[in-house]
Structure formats: C-alpha cells, structure tokens
Structure 1
Amino acid sequence: MSSSESLAMFHFGEARMLAAAGDQEGAVEALQSAIQADPHSDFLRLSLAGIYLETGQVELALRAAEDALIQNPDSVQANLLLGNINFNGGRFAKAAAYYQRATELAPDEQSAFLHLAIAHARGGDLEQAVGTLKKLLERSPDYTAAELTLARLYREMGLTGLAEQIYRDLLESQPDLDTAYLELGELLEKEDRIDQALVVYRKALEQDPLNIGMRHHIARMLVVEDRLDQALVELEAILELSPEDLEARRKIGLIYLELENWEAAAEVFTEILASDPTQAQARYYLGSALERLGDYEGALEAFQAVSEESDLYPDALSHLGFLYHQLGRTDEAIAAIRTRIARDGDRPELFSYLASLYEAAGQTDPALAVLEEGLQRFPDNGGLLYHRGIILEGSGRRAEAMTAMRLAIAADPEHAEALNFLAYGYAEAGENLEEAYALARKALELKPEAHIRDTLGWVYYRLGRYREARIELEQAVEKLPEDPVVLQHLGEVYQALGLTRKAQRIYERVLELKPEDEKTRMLLEQLKGDRP
C-alpha cells in the first residue's frame, strides 16, 4: 500500500470514529482529507455521499456519488446510490437508468431489479415494471419482496384477480407473512367482500393471536358494517390482552352509546377518566351517557370539565344549556354563554345556543334579539338565519319566518333544513308547488331523513300525485311511526286513493297519539260518513 493510500485510510478511520461520535461535520472534513490523499478512490467518495445524505445535504451527496461513478463507471454501489437519490427526488426515469446499469453490472443483485421495477412503476410505465419483476421472479422464484411488489402493481393496474392469487400463494407457502394478510384483506375490503376479508384477518390472528393492531382493524370493519355486537367481542378480546388499551375502551364506550346502553357507556368512560383524567372526549361522552340516564348533576359536572380549547367544547355548551334549564338554572347558563361571547364572539353557534336558552325559558323577544346581535356580526350565517325563522314561526309570524328561510337559503344554498321548511310552508299554503317540489327534492338529497321525506310526500299530495306521495309517506312512517303529523299525511293520501280502511286505521292511530287533534277527528268522521 502506498503512503498516499495509507494516509487516506487513516483519515477514513478518523471519519468513522467522528461519525460514530455524532460529529458529522468533522467526519465530512476527514473524508475530504482522505479523498485528497487518494483522489481516485470511488469508495471514499461513496462514503462521503453517505455522510451527506445522513445530514440532509442531498445535492452534495448527488455530486459525490457522481464523482464516484466517474472514478469507477462499473461501480454497482455508485449506480444504486445514484438511483436512490434520483428516485427520492422524483426523477424516476433517471433513477431507472442507474438501476438498469446496476442490473447489467450485477445480474444477481436482486435489489437492483426490484428498485428498477419500482422506478418504472412510479414513472408510470406499469407494463415495464411488471415485465422486470417477472424476469426477476424467473431467476429468483422465492423472492418474497418481488412477489409482494408484483401483487401491488397488479392492484394498481386493476388486475385484482392476479394480485389476489399471488397473495394466496404466498400465504400457502408462508402462513406467517403478516404483510400478505393485510394487503389481501385490504384488497377484499375494497371489493366489498367483507366476510372474505374477515376470514383472512382471522387467519392472521391464528398465526399471531397477540396482534393488537389486527384486532383493532377487525373491530373498525365491524363497526363500519354496523355489526356492533361482533365489534364488542373483538374489543373486549383486546382488553384481555392489553388492559391498558384506552383506545379499545373508548371504542367500547362509543358502541354502548350507539346501542343506547347508557349505563354501560357511563361505566366505561368513568374507567377511562380514572386512568387518564385528561381525556376530553371521554369526559364529553360520559356527560352524554349521564344525561340520557337522567343524572343531570353528574352530566353537568362532566360537561363543565370539557376544556374550552377542546373541539367538543361548542357541543358541550349546547348540553350545558339544556342541563341548566332542566335543573332550573337557566340564568346561570345564560350568564355563562354571555361571558363566553364576550371573550370569544367569533363563533356564531354561541349566539344560537344563547337564543335557545331564552327560547326554552319562554323569552321569545330576547331570543330574537340575540340572533339579531349574532347576525350583525355574521350577516350571511345560514344557521342563525334559520334559527331566527324557526322562532318567528313559533311566534305565529309565518310570513316573516318564510322570508328568514329564503335569506338562510341565499346565504347557504345547501342548508337542508331551511330548504325543507320553505318547501313544507309552500305545501301547507298550497302555493308555489313546483318550487316546493324542487326544494324538497334537493333537501332530501342533502339530508335523507324521514321528516324531509314527509315533506316531499306532502308536496306530491298537494300536486295531486297521490301514488308518488304514498311511496314517500309510507317510507317516512316506517321511520317515524309515532309522529301524528306524518301519520295524518299518509291517512289523507290513502283517502285520496280510495283506500278508506287504511285511511281509517291511520286516523284512529293519530287520535290515540294526539286525542286533541280536531282536524284528524273531522277527517275520520267525514270518512265514516262517506262509507256506505
């Protein structure tokens, strides 16, 4: 070894020690000294490129790697490194050229072929990528990374059947391959083959029963599919394996809320808060459960503890208003929200909450005044305009209410409730029925709920389109079987269609629910009088 090579190796050793000690700048200087001693060493230049990459100096790394390739055009490592740098920079065609050269120099270098295929794919040439992987697998049929990459490419190309077969073949030979289970399950989920996906995930759990992440994924799937009881089983299995898993407890609590098992939900969220009192969501959900249980004092305490910085705070305020009112402490709720408006008046919902409190206390004029105050700050807020219309309607000021709803729709053309209100108002008055039809259809598209379907059915009735009215109103009654107004609408449609026995049964049911309904009583008497 020449003296210059010896000196270069000395500086290289120094660079390694400095790098190990975390002195990257010193390591760079030592490597530069090594290169000065042996300027023809591609190895030293590649080492320098590696240090530059570690410190985020990509352009300097690129230059050092190019210099290494100049010194040794047949360097596999230099070609691979340049391929990686260009790939990470999004220059996929250039990266592919370097990877291609690496495969020519080292035909047995599997990673070079794999990188080449991925570069082709990211450059948009999926066919070329598939061809490269097939050649690689011909030479190395058991190369798992190549098989997984080919399956992913097939999925990207929409050839899901081919991808599925690769995954299943892999799992046949490697039943502990977690990645194949996950990707096959994901493929099946996207094709809405949920039960098959669950079978795959459960096979993964047979291989690794302690896979908490997989159990969480299965639980999420089951919740989305509305299989809440099955989701509970999975989540409880997680808690058996990992009692400190607060996320599993939170999901269990939310499922209990969905199932309206308020007592169980309250118990779960109390347990969560005992473990971690900072859980704002758990505190909010605890309040919701206690409120439904009728424990207003407990619910009040839970909602009061929700931080003002929490995203749930506005909803907590809404609950607080209701609870204060139920406890006969409406003045406290009003004062609290007034204080909040003084500090944070840029939230229009605060004005709506405050108006609701005045409204609940029977103070219509102060409620309207609060909304006017809010509208001075937010003149185009559809929510405030809609709320104003509702209060005006409740005060018997129907014309003003309809005007308020038109303004709400002008401010927010997709405010489903305002659209519905206006459509129903026109239908009740028997005017602008074509416009009412368009409004009701749009409202139902935006918010497919039973009370809006009732409005559309009632508009159909007013238009004399009784068969269409029947379809909509029967669906509405299915969802709102105890709503006397919806039932009465359906009764009138049955009567118009000559279905007198059906109409009679409906009217009788309305009077069971609302004995004081004189209109329905009159319709029933008229119906009985018309029958032979």
Structure 2
Amino acid sequence: YHKINKLDKAVVWYRRAVGLHPENERFKRHLTAAVAQMGDIGGLGDNEGWDLISAFQLLRGGRAEEALKVISEIESSHAFYLKGMALLMLQRYNEAKKMLRKAMGMGLEDQGVLYHLGVAHAATGKLFSAVTAWERALKLDPETPIIKNALMKIYHQLADQYVIEKDALEKAVPIWRKLLRLNPKDEVARNNLVRAYFLEANEFAREGELNKAINRWKRIVELMPDNADALHNLALAHDKLGDPITANDYWEKVIKIWKKRERSAEDRQLMRERLRTAYEHLADNYMRVGFTGNAIRALKSAAATASDDFDLFFSLGNLLMNEGRMGEAISEFQKALRIKPDDPEVLFRMGEAYEELRQYMKAARCYEKILEREPDNRDIIYQYCACYAYESEKSYYTFSPGKMLRLIREGLKRVPQAHMLRAFLVRVYLSEDDRGKAQELIDEGTSLFPEDPDLYIELAFSMMDLNPEDAERYSKKALELDRESFEIPLDIAVKHVKMGVYDEVDGYLREALNRAEEDDDKTFIFTTLISELMDEEPKLARKYSAELVRLFPDFGPGYLLMGFACYFCDKEKEAVKWLNRGIKRLRKSKGEHEEIIRLMETMKMMIRLNIGLPDLRI
C-alpha cells in the first residue's frame, strides 16, 4: 500500500504490525514515515516517540488542546512544529509564530513550517511577512498547489490595496508580474497588468519619452500578442522615430488582427477606416525604403476597404504611374474621378498617362475638361496643343496632310484659346500662299481674344520667317497689351532663339530685365534664355553667362552655366577656371551652397578626365 501511495491503508497495517511487535524499530520507522508523508510535517524521527504520532493524529481529528498536552514537555523541531499547528487551530496566532520560528531555529525549515508561519502572519495582518514565508516555501518546491494558491490570493489582495486604497499603481505592477509567473492563466492579473502598462505608456508618451512608452507597449504585446491597440501604438511610435522597417512589422500584425475583427465587428465602417489608415502607413514606409511594389500592394489593399476615398485612389494612381504601369494608373484615376468627376489634378495626371501610352487624343480630352474650368491655364493649353501636335505627326509621316489639318482644326474648334494650333494653321496657309484663310483665322482669334498677349506672340512666331513685318507688329502688340510682365518679352526672346533668329534676342532680353523687379526674376530670365542658347549658340550663351556672374556674383548656377558655355565653346581650361572661381566664392558667401558646389566639383572632374558632360538641365 505504501509503494502504491495508498497511505491511509498503509498506516492502518503499519499500526497493526507495531501493535503486535512494539519493540520492532523497523516497523516504527515505516509507520512514522507514512504518517509524516500523509501530514507533510517534514518526517518524524524514530527517536521522538509515540507522543508526536499521537499528537499528529489528534491534530488531524481537530483536537488541538489534547495534542498540545501530549507534546507540551517535548522540545524538538518537530514538536515545536506540531505545537505551532495546534496553536494555529486555536487561533493563538502570535504564540503559533513563536513555536514555528523555534522549529526553524532548530533546523526544520521545510515547506510545512514556512507555509503555516505564513498563515499565522496573514491571520495577524502581516501580509508582507506572509508573502516572504510563502515565497521561501515555494522555492523549495515550486509546484506545491496549496502554497501557490495562498500566494496568489495574497498577491491579489496586496495589488488591490495598492490600486484602490493607496493609488500606487507602480507598486502593484511587480505583484501582478509575480501572479502571472505563478499562474500564466490568471486573466485578472493579466488584464490589470496590461491596463497598468497602457497608463504608464500614455504618460511617457505625453512627456515625450517615446522609448519608455515603446518598452511598455512591447510588454503588453508579450502578455497579449493580439492586442491591436498596443501594436498600433508601436507602429505609430516607430513611424515617428523614423524606423519604417520595424514600424511595418507592427503594421502588418495589426492589419492581420483588424481584418479578422472586420468580419464580426458591429461598426464595420470604423474598422475599415482603421484598416485603410494602416495600409496607407504601410505603403508610406515601403516607399521610404524603396519597396515600391510592396507599397502598391498595400495601397491596393487600402483601396479595397475604402471605395469612396478619393485621395487613396489618386495616390495609388500616381504611384503606379511613377512605376511605368500606365494602364493600371489610368484605372485608378478613373475611380478617383467617379468620386470627384472634374478634379483638375487627376485629369492632368491621367492626361500625362495617356501621353505616355501615345494615346494623345484621350490625353487631349482630359486637358480639355480642365480648360472648361480653367480656360486661361497656360500650362494646360500647352499640353493640349502638344497632344494635337504629336497626333498630327502620325498623319504627317503617313503622308496624310489633309487628315493632319482636319485634326488641328478640330482641336482649335474644341478649344479656341489653343493659340499654338491657330498659329500652326496660319503658318500652313501662309506657306501655301492662301492668305485669305490665314487672315480669317487671325481675325477670328483677335476678335475672340483681343487682349491676350499669348495669341500675338504665337502669331508672330508662326510668321517670323514668312512675313517678318507682321511678325514684328504682333510682337510689339503683345508687349503693349502687358507692359509689366517680364514673361512676355522673355517668351518672345526664347521663340526667336528657337527660330534661329538671334538679332532681336538682346533687345527683348533687356526689355525683360527692365520689367523684372526682383533679383530672383532677373536670374530666372538669364538662366531660361541661356539654357535655350547653350546648344545652338554657345558663344552668345557664354556672353550672357558672364553678364549673369558679374551682376550676381553669389548666384551659384551662374558659374555652372559659365562652365557649360565655355566647355561648349571648346574652352575647357577657361571652364575649369570659372568653376574654381565659383566654388571659392560660394564657400565664402552665406547660404547653403553645398549642392551646387558638389555639381561644380563633379563637372571639373569630368572635364579633366575628358568624360564629356551630360545634357544640360535647368
């Protein structure tokens, strides 16, 4: 019976054996061991006699007074232990503590003694002393249920005291941690600890101590891996710290959780809004580290959760367009237009996408819609005219001039302010010596737009080599209509350069400079004109670059342009000299010139190594 752990029956049979042979020490040892094992009193020695066994049996029967009398004269560690147990039963707690301490003082420091000492402390309100005793007992055997249960109960009591009575949350936190170590399934302790960590994290975040807040949110995730609020806060925090890779680890986790909740959530719209925001953060971070494909997938997932989000479809279209996926980009732009039918930004980007696909008439329709709302938008008018120019080239190369003219006339009819198309038709009719049709178009334009200088500039440009006198007259008319803007004479000067007529360029340049009031406007005039002259007339570009440097010695691009102009004039040494002069000057002057200095250093190196210069881009 003893070997198969049926201790009650083992004790019965051992007693019978001892009763038959009281002098047999081996029988007594077996009986003592079984009794001690049943009561967990630490094991009784064979020399402590039957009084201890009798006292123990009396205690098991609840007869504490009788047990005390039996062992009152015995002074051994086990006797003091049994006395302490008896006094506990009689609720004489202070005396019980003395007896149990004596037992420990005599070397009996096992789980039984420590457990009952803890009970005595708890009964007298000494909770911390009870905790100390039970923690020592648990170290001897971490799996003893009675001690674990006692500790968990008192831990909860202490934590509640701190939170409710003393408002000392920071002292309750380590107690809840101990509770979870004892019982990982204690949901009360887990929830309290999570709530405490959230409060601490929020406080740290308010004070700007983001790393400490992150530490608390990470602890929450350790306790509750699916806590979406903590994961969301971690993702936002790492976004703020500029760590997109770590942030995206958390965004992906929180998205996975929110997607599960979306199916059963009462407020699905709110959950979808959260998902959309998370996907947008995910996409932004992927873009930061150059993972464009991942960013596109994230934005597509976001779009699936928000069918009415204009900005989302527009952003996705732009991203796809930047990746060269024009067809997909157009599809997203069309979705955006269903929400805002005539948005000019979307129409413009969609027009550009159609141009990339060489579908110029579809692009022109996009620009035409913009012009219905913004009829004076010069940039859009230019894009519109360019579409018809590109489309007409197809007819030109297929030897269909009639089709080309019909196309241009159609474009002008749809958008009468497309002055470039009107000027093109005028030039065609003049070159065919059909002055009647040319004059008819001119009269129509001047009657519709009598005060628009752009019309007269385009007309002048169209007939510069065919009818120079009229061209000069229209140029002067444009200047008279707008006597303040420097852009009018600058445009005329640029068009002269494009036509290869340089005699009048200087006069229009001076007129533009006289009209410009700010230094930034003057440098813009010089750089615009020089960039047009650089390939075709580098000597003139060099002349104006030298003037630009003389007038604005701290303007870095002036030295760069001078270097280009000298290089294109086959004066490499002079180019290096001007670049060195510019670098020296800019390093002494105030302002941020690092970028332009770096460009000039690179240009010097390329000239010296005879690598050749890239195309000029201003």
Shorter-chain TM-score category? 0.3 to 0.5
> Which has the higher Rg, Structure 1 or Structure 2?
2
Give the structure-1-normalised TM-score. Answer: 0.47
Give the structure-2-normalised TM-score. Answer: 0.42
